[in-house]
Amino acid sequence: MPCWACERAKVNRASGYYQAGCAVCTARQLARMPRQHRVAAYAAERDKGGDVTALQQAVRKQYEIDKSKGVAQ
Ligand SMILES: [Zn+2]
């Protein structure tokens, strides 16, 4: 179920809104962060016993969407 920020990103990919607690928003935000932030987020995910691979794939997916929409840096 997409949150309001995800709905907004669908209309305007560059809108830059993120809803805390939304996994898709988190991935979209991470995809736009400098590399060291992403690495830190993956380490934090691993520390809390989360699925790092799934998170990396989600971020990758968001990055690809950004790239296809011309939003990626
Ligand atoms: Zn969202």
Going from the Cα of 49 to the center of ligand 1, the distance in angstroms, rounded, reads 22
pLDDT at 15: 87
**Which parts of the chain fold into alpha helices (H)?**
4-11, 23-31, 35-47, 52-68
Contact 19, 27 (CB under 8 A): no
pLDDT at 6: 97
Going from the Cα of 53 to the center of ligand 1, the distance in angstroms, rounded, reads 19
**Residues 6 or more apart in contact with residue 15 via CB below 8 angstroms:** 5, 8, 9
User: Which residues keep their CB under 5 angstroms from ion ligand 1?
Assistant: 3, 5-6, 19, 22, 24-25
Going from the Cα of 65 to the center of ligand 1, the distance in angstroms, rounded, reads 14
Each residue's pLDDT expressed in tens, for the chain with a length of 73 residues = 679 999 999 999 998 999 999 999 999 999 999 999 999 999 999 999 999 999 999 999 999 999 999 987 5
Q: What is the pTM of this model?
A: 0.90
**Residues 6 or more apart in contact with residue 22 via CB below 8 angstroms:** 3, 5, 6
pLDDT at 47: 98
